[in-house]
Each structure stands twice: as structure tokens, then as C-alpha cells.
Amino acid sequence: MKRFVVPFVALLAAAVIGGVASVGLWEAVDDDTAPAAAAATATVNRPVAVKSGSVADIYEQTIPGVVEITAQSAASGQPGGGATATGSGWVLDSEGHIVTNQHVVDGASEVSVKFHDGTEVQADVVGTDPSSDVALLKLTEVPDDLQPLERGSSESLRIGDPVVAIGSPFGLEGTVTAGIVSAKNRQLQAPNSYTIDGAIQTDAALNHGNSGGPLLDFEGRVVGMNSQIASESGGNVGIGYAVPIETIERVVEQLKSGGAVAYAYLGVQLGDAQGGGAQIGEVRSGAPADDAGLESGDVVTKLDGDEINDGDDLRGAIAAHKPGDKVELTIERDGETQTITVTLGTRPS
């Protein structure tokens, strides 16, 4: 049976009161598109440390930094029409920035943020990035007692480590669930069909409305943002995915500056070559790979002298660069080794 990945914002039609409709977007996983990530260094806030050791302690000390998000979109030409989406989010910094998923606020004309104590504040959308499913909001009024969440590292997580998810599934704000890191370095399909690399898989229960909420390690630090579930029914079956915090930080810093998020671009489809290396499938016409002379069937074995073991290695290596960077690819073609220099472009939206 085909596996579906479901972004799990809760959608409510404007005319519906007290009911939650299931998500209307189903996307099959496609791991062949080669994305790249923009490089930037984030400034990490260090608020009050969280006492580790129990889910209750983590919840009590982090819940002030977790919010419920309501995004209202207006339907053009339909008076009183439109839809309301509810999701989750978390406080990034003391300036009033809130992080959530792009698909939570996509097309929103009005966004409100509700804190655990009932305080509700309007927010502006600073920017969104459909390639990573990250959105940055800014509160129009910053509460005096705003509590940013501390950020950790998804790279330091081990499979089996305990994690905690907090959000508003089905509009039930302040819901906490717990589980473990089931796997690392999963690939997700972004809203614009590119690939999100490095996702965390967890069995913590996630449902519609959890989108944008934090995934926390057992010291209460954000290690990811809950974004999708794999499900045949649309409900939680114990396979959830979170965008890693490192990706979020890179994207947020660019969104803060007011610019679009730039991704390095090679312009090929990738697979794993027998015997090692990244097998090039389609080479897109006019892409940097095409301009440099790469061909379908080439096997990339090194990038700037570093070994490339499979398609994921090459995706990650490109992700570490910026548009305009030149990279040297060692390839195998028709039994011969060649070196090709490629100037990376900017990935199309």
C-alpha cells in the first residue's frame, strides 16, 4: 500500500463551528530531487535552563514558550468566505519572533498567536520558506514575560533518545506527548516538492494541529519542529517527522533579514550507484550541471576531494554550499575518471 506523508495543520471551514476537518493535502514521498540548504550562523538564545528528568518538568518549564496559531485566509470574491487553519508554534527570541510551519500560515491574511495563559496577540508574517516548510512570525505586541525556548542540536541526538512534543492537536492547546527518536536523517517532501533533508523520525503522538510545535530533547531544548506524519488513515500511527533545528536556524536568519531563502542548486536527479557514489539520473536543461557538462549516468565519487558514498552524501555536500560557489566533482563515466568544475546556481522556487 502506498505510504503518504501528511502535513498536519488542522483545517476548519469558515462556516463550521466546533468541528475539525481532516487535512486536505496528501503528498507521496519523492526523494529524487536534489535540494541544497543556505548557509548562515544563528544566534542562539539561552533562557532559563530546564530541569531534565521527567516529562512533567519539561512541560512545566517550556509550556510558556509554546503557542497555538490561528491563521485566517480570505477567499477572493466570496464575502464571508475563507478558511481558518490552526497549528502550533514556539517562541524564538525575546524580540517576539515565533516559528511555525509554512503550511500553517500559507495564504493567511490574518494570524493570531495564543499563549498557554490565554493571552492572544496578533502577529505579522515576516517571511516563509516552502522549501523547508518554515515560517517566521513577529508579534505586534511583545508580552513582558515572553519566554523563548532554548535550542539544542538534532545532530547530537541518538536513535532511542527520549523526546517530547507540545502543541495543539485538533485545537487542544497545551497537549504534551512523549516518545523516542525512532530514526534520523529521514527525507521529507516540502510543500513545493523539494526535499527536506535530515528530518527526525519520532513515535511521539502527533496529529492535525501539531504542525509547527517544538520537538524537545530531555533537557527541554528544541531539536526540531513537528511537521508531518506518515499515515494511511490521516491519523497518528506512531511515525512522525520533525524538521531539524539546524535547518530552522539557517532559514530563520535569512527570513529575519527580509530576503528570500537562497539554496544552492546543481540541477540533477540522484540515486545510489552500485559500488558506491551518487548516480546522476536526469540532468535538467540549462541547470548548472548541464552547463558544466554532467550527463545522465555519471557517477559522482568525490566533491572537492571528499568521498561521496551515495546520493544523500552529494545532496548534503551541495547543501553545505551557497549559490555561486564552485565545486569540483570527481566522476566515473564509461569506465574513466574525470574531474568537472561546477558553479552552483540558485535553486528555482
**Residue in 73, 132, 78 with CA at minimum distance from that of residue 105:** 73
SS3 305: coil
Burial, 45: exposed, middle or buried (Cβ in 10 Å; 0-12, 13-18, 19+)?
A: middle
Please give the pLDDT value at position 8. 53
Please give the pLDDT value at position 46. 43
Which of 258, 289, 305 terminates a domain? The answer is 258
Q: What is the 3-state composition of the chain as percent helix, strand, coil, each rounded to the nearest 5?
A: 15, 40, 50
Catalytic residue among 73, 88, 97, 103, which? Answer: 103
CATH number at residue 54: 2.40.10.120
- Contact 301/276 with Cβ under 8 angstroms? yes
On whether both 68 and 98 belong to a single domain, the answer is yes
Please give the pLDDT value at position 75. 63
- 129-157 pLDDT, tens digit each: 999 999 999 999 999 999 999 999 999 99
Catalytic residue among 73, 131, 211, 227, which? Answer: 211
Please give the pLDDT value at position 19. 26
On whether both 128 and 97 belong to a single domain, the answer is yes
Please give the pLDDT value at position 222. 98
Q: Does residue 155 belong to any structural domain of this protein?
A: yes
- 81-94 pLDDT, tens digit each: 678 999 999 999 99
Which of 231, 258, 285 terminates a domain? The answer is 258
Please give the pLDDT value at position 24. 27
On whether both 166 and 67 belong to a single domain, the answer is yes
Burial, 336: exposed, middle or buried (Cβ in 10 Å; 0-12, 13-18, 19+)?
A: exposed
On whether both 193 and 72 belong to a single domain, the answer is yes
On whether both 175 and 213 belong to a single domain, the answer is yes
Cell numbers 512523549 label which residue?
Answer: 178
Please give the pLDDT value at position 319. 85
Please give the pLDDT value at position 248. 97
**Residue 147's domain spans which residues?**
1-13+25-258
Cα separation, 179 vs 58, in Å, equals: 13
Cα separation, 169 vs 307, in Å, equals: 43
Cell numbers 490561528 label which residue?
Answer: 70
- Contact 279/299 with Cβ under 8 angstroms? yes
On whether both 212 and 71 belong to a single domain, the answer is yes
Average pLDDT, the chain: 85
Tell me the whole-structure pTM to 2 decimals: 0.79
Q: Does residue 113 belong to any structural domain of this protein?
A: yes
CATH number at residue 339: 2.30.42.10
Q: What angle do CA 95, 250, 146 make, to 5 degrees?
A: 20
Please say if 133 is a catalytic residue: yes
Please give the pLDDT value at position 78. 56
Give me the residues of the chain with pLDDT under 50, please.
1-4, 10-49, 76
Please say if 103 is a catalytic residue: yes
For 312-323, give the secondary structure using H, E and C: HHHHHHHHCCCC
On whether both 339 and 228 belong to a single domain, the answer is no
Domain count, the chain: 2
Q: Does residue 20 belong to any structural domain of this protein?
A: no
On whether both 46 and 92 belong to a single domain, the answer is yes
On whether both 145 and 294 belong to a single domain, the answer is no
On whether both 201 and 282 belong to a single domain, the answer is no
Catalytic residue among 73, 97, 106, 133, which? Answer: 133
Please give the pLDDT value at position 300. 97
- Contact 231/237 with Cβ under 8 angstroms? yes
On whether both 249 and 286 belong to a single domain, the answer is no
On whether both 248 and 142 belong to a single domain, the answer is yes
Please give the pLDDT value at position 235. 82
Q: Does residue 18 belong to any structural domain of this protein?
A: no
Please say if 153 is a catalytic residue: no
CB 142: neighbour CB atoms within 10 A?
14
CB 65: neighbour CB atoms within 10 A?
23
Which of 198, 229, 258 terminates a domain? The answer is 258
